[in-house]
Amino acid sequence: MKSIKILLLLILSSQLYAQDLLVKTQNGMVEGYATSDKNIRIFKGIPFAAPPVGDLRWKAPQAVQNWSGVKKCVAFSASPIQDLPKPFYCWSEEFIAKPEPLSEDCLYLNIWTSTQKNDKKRPVFVWIYGGGLSSGSANCDIYDGEEMAKQGVVFVSINYRVGVLGFMAHPELSKESSHQASGNYGFMDQIAALQWVQKNIEAFGGDSKNVTIAGQSAGAFSVNALIASPLARGLFHKAILQSGGILSGRLQQNLAQSEKQGLAVMKKLNAQSLSDLRKIPALDLQKMSVGPEIGRFGVTIDNYVLPDNLAGYFQKGLQNQVPILAGWVTGDGGLLGPTRGGIEDFKKEAQAKYGQKAEEFLSIFPANSEEELKKSKNTLGLVGFACLPAHLLSKFNSKDSYVYQFDHTPTDKPGFPNYGVFHTSEVPYTLHTLHLWNRPWQKKDKEVEQMMSAYWINFAKTGNPNGKGLPQWSKYNPKLANILEVGEKTEVKEGLLKKELDFMTNDIFTVK
């Protein structure tokens, strides 16, 4: 009799467990799977927008069609169309999208959430990948959400269109659009994913009123764009930017410039109309749309997704005001590679660009020796690409901001070059995914991972990264440049890069 009761309890438990893997979304039922310990539920490949194919190519994402029955969501969707992903330079396979499948039908998201039931909704963390707005995918190994889900957050990763299919503008596209502009489709995909989260995440245990968006490199550019975009208002409540942002001015054009780029694509492909362009197979379009005569596709200031005069917009505080955590890695300074020209060239360029301010510039970025020149160029690259966006976002933000500099070198991988604190190297520390990056990790790495991921999780939960056992991280004050430096020792340093940031801020912006 006792054995029968135990058997019945096991059957009932199994049935309840199976039901936990079924979730009703607004479009239909989805079924995920669980980790081996049955503590985390995982749902991969949930559609958040209709496939942007055929006539929907180069259009804002459209609503998902409802389905009947249960949709199995147990594998990542295809990655967006891009050049064939493969490891290069410092980025080993853990940092790269899976080489296949690639497809225009790529607008899907993934969710990691606890199996534990309680009445308290969990904070939501939405991860946006990097890749220069021309590559990337949510399926990269280091973007796994299981460890963060174990710490009480609902982790969401999303796909968005990249490259020619995600960011090309064209006069005909602008004309057919209701907002008379084009480009920025990848950003609109991100907005559609956040709208999906608002409508559905509570079914997965998440709190739709406590959503943090986070991203690195082009993901940070994306987070910055969402902070700026009126279309994203109310869709998120906190933001994390790692190494980048549109306030750097990089990868940015006005609508006329972006449309000219689209015309160059049409010419190269010998297409006569937008209809012709939409008929070209996606992989052929990708292959033919790269090259110096076309250039990189990126941010379009279209006065729709992104307002005109971004500087003035932020100065007036019109952006989506939310708590911000932002920073960079020290290796970001060398991201764009070595620059040409010697000492005299550097000084002449400074005189031509800054005029009466050239002397001040050269006192902050000196070039009286080859060693000084190399250091100044690296600092210029670092500040211009990554430090300035973090500083400016905080400067114009009415909510709390926290700024960091990551200077911890990952443990060497045998037989692999040492690239130092390279661009993206902090991501596995912050997402607690070192175990998915193949290196012989040491105690110090694990300590940094534990600390960084705790900061990120605390911030996602409360808007404040501080917590028990962590080095105190003070709110950022632009006048003090009090930045948390993570390296041999983790501590807040006042005045870190302050002269450099002040000069470049005053040069680019008329600060009120």
* Residue 493 parent element (H or E): strand 490-493
For residues 149 and 38, the answer to whether their CB atoms sit within 8 Å is no
154 Cβ contact partners less than 8 Å away, ≥ 6 residues apart = 111, 112, 113, 122, 123, 124, 125, 201, 204, 205, 206
Supply the pLDDT for residue 1.
Answer: 55
Over the stretch 335-352, which tens digit does the pLDDT of each residue have? Answer: 765 677 899 999 999 999
Task: State whether the Cα torsion 196-199-202-207 is positive or negative.
Answer: positive
Over the stretch 215-236, which tens digit does the pLDDT of each residue have? Answer: 999 999 999 999 999 999 999 9
* CA nearest neighbour of 374 among 338, 402, 347: 338
Which residue pairs, CB below 8 angstroms and at least 24 apart, start in 255-260? 255/169, 255/174, 255/181, 255/182, 255/183, 255/300, 255/301, 255/302, 255/303, 258/167, 258/168, 258/169, 258/182, 258/183, 258/300, 258/302, 259/169, 259/170, 259/171, 259/174, 259/182
Give the whole-number percent of the chain exceeding pLDDT 70: 95
How far apart CA 385 and CA 377 sit, in angstroms, is 12
Q: What is the mean pLDDT of residues 65-87?
A: 97
pLDDT of residue 138 exceeding 90: yes
Q: How far is CA 304 from CA 169, 205, 240, 258, 362, in A?
A: 13, 33, 23, 14, 39
pLDDT of residue 17 exceeding 70: no
pLDDT of residue 9 exceeding 50: no
For residues 153 and 457, the answer to whether their CB atoms sit within 8 Å is yes
Q: What is the mean pLDDT of residues 202-210?
A: 98
Supply the pLDDT for residue 117.
Answer: 79
Report the CATH superfamily, name and number, of domain 2-84+123-508.
Alpha/Beta hydrolase fold, catalytic domain (3.40.50.1820)
Number of separate helices (H) and strands (E) present in the chain: 17, 16
Reduced to 3 states (helix: H, G, I; strand: E, B; else coil), residue 421 is coil
Angle among Cα 128, 131, 135 to the nearest 5 degrees reads: 105
Lowest mean pLDDT among 41-45, 292-296, 507-511: 507-511
Supply the pLDDT for residue 334.
Answer: 81
Angle among Cα 470, 474, 479 to the nearest 5 degrees reads: 155
* Residue 70 parent element (H or E): strand 70-72
Beta bridge partners of 155: 112, 125
Give the whole-number percent of the chain exceeding pLDDT 90: 90
Burial of 115 from C-beta contacts in 10 A (0-12 / 13-18 / 19+): middle
pLDDT category at 510 given cuts 50, 70, 90 is very low
Supply the pLDDT for residue 511.
Answer: 39
Other beta carbons less than 10 A from residue 238's beta carbon? 24
Tell the residue number behind the tokens 């796994």, with chain if given. 144
Supply the pLDDT for residue 16.
Answer: 43
How far apart CA 19 and CA 13 sit, in angstroms, is 10
- Give the burial string for 274-289 (b: 16+ CB within 10 Å, else e): beebbeeebeebbebb
pLDDT of residue 401 exceeding 70: yes
pLDDT of residue 371 exceeding 90: yes
Supply the pLDDT for residue 188.
Answer: 98
* Residue 403 parent element (H or E): strand 401-406
Supply the pLDDT for residue 291.
Answer: 87
| Widest CA span in the chain | 94
Over the stretch 234-280, which tens digit does the pLDDT of each residue have? Answer: 999 999 999 999 988 877 999 999 999 999 999 999 999 999 999 99
Give how far the C-alpha of residue 158 lies from the chain's centroid of Cα atoms, to the nearest Å: 10
Give how far the C-alpha of residue 375 lies from the chain's centroid of Cα atoms, to the nearest Å: 28
Residues labelled as active-site residues:
217
Over the stretch 463-481, which tens digit does the pLDDT of each residue have? Answer: 999 999 999 999 999 999 9
Over the stretch 420-455, which tens digit does the pLDDT of each residue have? Answer: 999 999 999 999 999 999 999 999 999 999 999 999
* Residue 220 parent element (H or E): helix 218-228
Supply the pLDDT for residue 118.
Answer: 78
pLDDT of residue 512 exceeding 50: no
Which residue pairs, CB below 8 angstroms and at least 24 apart, start in 444-450? 444/408, 444/411, 445/408, 445/410, 445/411, 448/408, 448/486
Supply the pLDDT for residue 10.
Answer: 44
Domain residue limits, the chain: 2-84+123-508
Global confidence as pTM: 0.95
pLDDT category at 509 given cuts 50, 70, 90 is low
